[in-house]
Structure 1
Amino acid sequence: MPWWSWPLILLVFCFILGVVAVLAGVGGGVLFVPLVSGFFPFHIDFVRGAGLMVALAGALAAGPGLLKRNLASLRLALPVALITSSGAIVGAHLGLALPPHIIQLSLGITILGIAILLILAKNKEFPEVPKQDALSLALGINGSYYEPNTDTVHDWKTHKTVPGMLLFIVIGVMAGMFGLGAGWANVPVLNLLMGVPLKVAVGTSKFLLSITDTSAAWVYLNQGCVVPLIAIPSIVGLMGGSFVGVRLLAKAKPKFIRYMVIGVLLFAGVRSLMKGLGI
């Protein structure tokens, strides 16, 4: 095959991936890395570098609008971003130091874990927080947002901040190591553990990626692992697919798409395990 055929195939593939990611409510990065590393002839380091750029592009596009609508909280995002970014830098260095087959094995286990998390996690739209803890109170982590569907303003606060912050260290390391972004883990921790309303958790998670992924992406850029021939078709394809996905969202059946994505993740996780084992 000519050299230009793979970037062209990648562009089309990522366009489809972008449509599916929006319909399923997951970030494109979590699908991009396992599928591209499993089925394209690219080194895993280049795929992870491109995966971070893909997640970063989507987060930067969405961030300003989320902040403007109070769907992303700076008071919540900044302390979490400091912890997660530090973990992402450590994870990026660790990922580049480990042999590719170890990364493939670890990636396979992680992707299977994400699929199980998507099956089990039942996000709550308005979690109950009986009392704000001391750390959350000291950091001023609370706020309110307008819900147009019910024409009401919802006040919110958080609790269990310390265990939440500890989990974000692990999330940051995994995001940097695998180039997945971290929306798949941010939302459950913010929503189910810390008691952040679902819309604010999703918005803050998206804004967090613009900081966390930037930290890890610099490491991959410095090591020469962001290749334009892989990164550019991936970003253009996923962004284009996302626009189409948003238009199809009203007509699609999200439950079916969600289960389809879980099936794809299970398949991709097994594929990564097989590749890591040399099968």
Structure 2
Amino acid sequence: MLKGIVTVLQIGVLSSALLILLGLCLQPFRPGGFSAERLVTFPQTLNQVWAEISSYFGPQAVITLGLLLLVTTPVLRVGVSLLGFARERNRKFVVITSLVLLILLLSLLLVSQGQRAGYVSDIHHLHFSFLVLALIFAGSICAGLLGALVGLGGGVLIVPLLTLVFGLPIHFAIGASIISVIATSSGAAVAYVRDQVTNVKLGMFLELATTTGAVSGAFLAGLLAPATLSIVFGVILLLSSLPILFKLGEEIPKDVQNDRLASWLDLAGSYPDRRSGRTISYHVTRTPIGLAMMYVAGVISGLLGIGSGEFKVLALDTLMHLPMKVSSTTSNFMIGVTAAASAGIYFSRGDIPPLLAGPVALGILLGALLGARLLMHMSNKALRLVFLPVIALAALEMVLHGLGLGL
């Protein structure tokens, strides 16, 4: 099964990257090139994409096709996992994975009913060129590397980079952030699953809660005040990270035993640690509480349009007492599915311009691959030292966004 997951991730990532790169290479030879006008004028429906590709091989339509392929990659990964569990005759996880796939497909169907926001009418304040595109690509590499290391989606850096540095509209930045989450998850998961660091069973089980939470958040988004929620969750995130301070010196959790649910689902695992040169075995505890936290993380993702990987890593590391490497890689494994559940509405609203999301996706994919290689040679302590300032930045970003300051 692991080989099948790796294969579908590799094919999805490579195919989408080639299509995005092809479209970006063709764009300079079309009228407008990399101008602000071209940035905000692009195909927003499947019919428009197909029409532009079939009539004159439109570069932005090609890029959009690559982005759509990237978004569907996590969905295909769940489907391949279902087939793998069926071949293994693992009835428990056949049921669990079927439910995840059903919830994911339902959420994609529901969010696709969103109304399009339309094109940006005022483009005079926008500054977009090949140089800006190159700088965004470079910044995305850094975001992808960091996201792959600590199990986040890269949006913590992408959103402020696009809005504060380049002055792009916030809805474009959030749309690109969703793409960055999926790209980080798909790109890094290739190495993490292949090297058997990700706990696939645990990730699939917890995706039951994250996908359900994402659907719930989408429904609640119109009823609750996002600004207030952003402040509350930012404060909670900051407070929740405090226990990590007391675990900075911990390399491997000690005296952890499987709870009943973890034993019943056979969630315990092991991974080859290249840094120490030995195989690390671990157990899973407080599984019901972890499942509840994943639902909350999914709700946050649906409400605020973020990957919520921070909450996932905190739950896995501090509540369920997994090694930090397993927490980071398993969170990374899940965030792509959570983001894919809400990506449809961003496409339908016209919030994902190809000329912006394209270089972000390519940069994130490259950074995620580099980060995945680097993680295998780092200690769990070093990962926590990287994770803490990122958590502080994410919490600050959420609070400022809620207060209407900065983001």
TM-score, normalised by the number of residues in structure 2: 0.56
Quick check: 1:144–1:153 contact (8 Å CA) kept in 2?
A: yes
Corresponding residue to 1:198 among 324, 333, 336: 324
Aligned pair 1:76/2:199, yes or no? no
Q: In the aligned structure 2, how far is the partner of 1:56 from the partner of 1:38? A: 23
CA RMSD of aligned residues (A): 3.7
- The corresponding residue for 2:261 is 135
Aligned pair 1:67/2:193, yes or no? yes
Q: Given the superposition, is the C-alpha separation of residues 152 and 105 from structure 1 closer, same or farther in structure 2, using an over 3 Å criterion?
A: same
Q: Which amino acid aligns with 1:19?
A: C
Aligned pair 1:272/2:272, yes or no? no
- The corresponding residue for 2:353 is 227
Give the Å deviation of 1:89: 2.5
Quick check: 2:258–2:285 contact (8 Å CA) kept in 1?
A: yes
Higher relative contact order (CA 8 A, sep 6+): 1
CA deviations on 1:240-270 (whole Å, 9 max, x unpaired) are 55577789999xx999977875675566445
- The corresponding residue for 1:16 is 139
**Range 260-269 or range 174-183, more displaced:** 260-269
Quick check: 1:115–1:266 contact (8 Å CA) kept in 2?
A: yes
Q: In the aligned structure 2, how far is the partner of 1:131 from the partner of 1:225? A: 46
CA deviations on 1:103-157 (whole Å, 9 max, x unpaired) are 3554355445545555652454321344311111111111111122222222211
Quick check: 1:50–1:231 contact (8 Å CA) kept in 2?
A: yes
Aligned pair 1:149/2:275, yes or no? yes
Q: In the aligned structure 2, how far is the partner of 1:130 from the partner of 1:260? A: 27
Aligned sequence identity (%): 26
Aligned pair 1:172/2:301, yes or no? no
Give the Å deviation of 1:171: 0.4
Quick check: 2:187–2:365 contact (8 Å CA) kept in 1?
A: no
Q: Which amino acid aligns with 1:15?
A: A
Q: Which amino acid aligns with 1:213?
A: A
Q: In the aligned structure 2, how far is the partner of 1:133 from the partner of 1:118? A: 24
User: Which one has a bigger Cα radius of gyration?
Assistant: 2
Give the Å deviation of 1:13: 4.3
**Range 35-44 or range 148-157, more displaced:** 35-44
Q: In the aligned structure 1, how far is the partner of 2:342 from the partner of 2:217? A: 8
Give the Å deviation of 1:214: 1.3
Q: Given the superposition, is the C-alpha separation of residues 104 and 244 from structure 1 closer, same or farther in structure 2, using an over 3 Å criterion?
A: farther
Q: Which amino acid aligns with 2:404?
A: K
Q: Which amino acid aligns with 2:358?
A: I
Q: Given the superposition, is the C-alpha separation of residues 214 and 165 from structure 1 closer, same or farther in structure 2, using an over 3 Å criterion?
A: same
CA deviations on 1:16-44 (whole Å, 9 max, x unpaired) are 35426635844312332355456665554
Q: Which amino acid aligns with 1:209?
A: I
Q: Given the superposition, is the C-alpha separation of residues 105 and 48 from structure 1 closer, same or farther in structure 2, using an over 3 Å criterion?
A: farther
Q: Which amino acid aligns with 1:84?
A: T
CA deviations on 1:189-235 (whole Å, 9 max, x unpaired) are 11211121211111111111222221122343344433324322332
Instruction: Specify the SS of the correspondent of 2:404.
Output: helix
Q: Given the superposition, is the C-alpha separation of residues 182 and 260 from structure 1 closer, same or farther in structure 2, using an over 3 Å criterion?
A: closer
- The corresponding residue for 2:226 is 103
Q: In the aligned structure 2, how far is the partner of 1:98 from the partner of 1:45? A: 20
- The corresponding residue for 1:185 is 311
- Structure 2 residue ranges without an equivalent (≥5): 1-34, 40-126
- Structure 1 residue ranges without an equivalent (≥5): none
Q: Which amino acid aligns with 1:107?
A: S
